[in-house]
Amino acid sequence: MPIRILWNTIADPWRREATEKAVVAGIGDRHGDWITSVFEPQLSPEWIVEIKGPQNFIWSHTFFGPHEQNPDFIRRMVRQALKPGED
């Protein structure tokens, strides 16, 4: 179950690492190759997370503000998008 972070443009190093860990934890122990990207536009307060996985799975979500950009919230959203058993 390789999970690759293709790129992550969050400027703050702590938040960048915490977000990567949240995405990986949200994906969990699943079969196949998973590729993720996290994008923080320079002039916008949003973070965009995209995940690509087996069987043409693609998920993207835009996270706004401190509540949504919290690692626990991101992990829960990723986990919810990948409902258990859908690997």
Residues 33-87 pLDDT 10s: 999 999 999 989 999 999 999 999 999 999 999 999 999 999 999 999 998 555 5
What does the pLDDT read at residue 84? Answer: 59
The verdict on pTM exceeding 0.75 is yes
For residue 49, which of 85, 14, 22, 84 has the smallest C-alpha distance?
22
86 found inside a domain = no
3-class secondary structure, 45: coil
What does the pLDDT read at residue 83? Answer: 84
Structural domain harbouring 36: 3-81
Q: How many domains does the chain have?
A: 1
What's the CATH number where 52 sits?
3.30.160
Structure-token pair, residue 3: 């999970």
> In this predicted model, which residue has the larger pLDDT, 8 or 84?
8
